[in-house]
Chains A and B, each alone.
Chain A
Amino acid sequence: ELKVEQNPLFLSMQEGKNYTIYCNYSTTSDRLYWYRQDPGKSLESLFVLLSNGAVKQEGRLMASLDTKARLSTLHITAAVHDLSATYFCAVDLSHSRSGGSQGNLIFGKGTKLSVKP
């Protein structure tokens, strides 16, 4: 079974600090998404990483993709309370016909981030 592993699953950090969330996956893919979910809300698309070496930045968040290592990172710079949420990575298999019963988007379990003032 195809697996997507995020770590850490829980992250408590102070405002102003930096940290990185890791997303490892077990199959070939050249497309990966990061989503944000606030409590009781839906998933908001943050980044789409389309190729090896892709780097995207938006505000205090920066995402990167290394398809050879099957690794994506979401780096948080100078965290603020408003970033508190759960972050999911999702590996896109639609280009490799490997979706099958798992679908085309395979999600990690999510990283629950809490930023304390």
Chain B
Amino acid sequence: KAGVTQTPRYLIKTRGQQVTLSCSPISGHRSVSWYQQTPGQGLQFLFEYFSETQRNKGNFPGRFSGRQFSNSRSEMNVSTLELGDSALYLCASGLTMRETQYFGPGTRLLVL
């Protein structure tokens, strides 16, 4: 069974630009969560989706948004990028929100 996939794997952007990251969950999984990982702040929760609905949202500014499609694939968007948005963005999927979450390889974003 294929694991969680994330695209792109690496991304370089400049301040002010916007970016869209994609996550394809494990087949059959309907829950998708997003996390931001930085050396200083560690792993911080961004959003959680289940059945195309956002169930939880972390304490991030409105520049961070996301959505989930009917096939459970999810995207997150960051607008007006700032230097501090440089991070590893991890997506995790689970059968439901209460089942083990399996993480994808991540998208490493560098904002210059």
Contacts and interface: CB of A to CB of B under 8 A. Distances in A.
A33 interface: yes
B100 A95 contact: no
- Among A45, A48, A102, A104, max chain B CB count under 10 A is at A104
A108 B41 CA distance: 11
B46 to A, nearest CB: 8
A104 B42 contact: no
A72 to B, nearest CB: 16
Interface residues of B, number: 23
Given A42-B90, A42-B106, A100-B56, A105 B42 contact: no
B64 interface: no
A102 B45 contact: yes
Interface residues of A, number: 25
Contacts, number: 57
Contact of A104 (B97, B102, B105, B108): B97
B57 interface: yes
A42 B97 contact: no
Interface string B32-46: 010100000011011
Contacts of A110: 42
A12 interface: no
A105 B105 contact: no
Contacts of B105: 41-42
Contacts of B28: none
A45 B57 CA distance: 23
A100 to B, nearest CB: 7
Given A88-B43, A99-B56, A104-B56, A94 B90 contact: no
Interface of A: 33, 35, 40-45, 48, 88, 92, 94-95, 99-110
6 contacts: A42-B105, A99-B56, A100-B56, A102-B58, A103-B56, A104-B98
Given A33-B100, A102-B45, 6 more contacts: A42-B104, A43-B103, A45-B102, A95-B98, A99-B48, A104-B48
Interface of B: 33, 35, 42-43, 45-46, 48, 56-59, 90, 92, 97-98, 100-106, 108
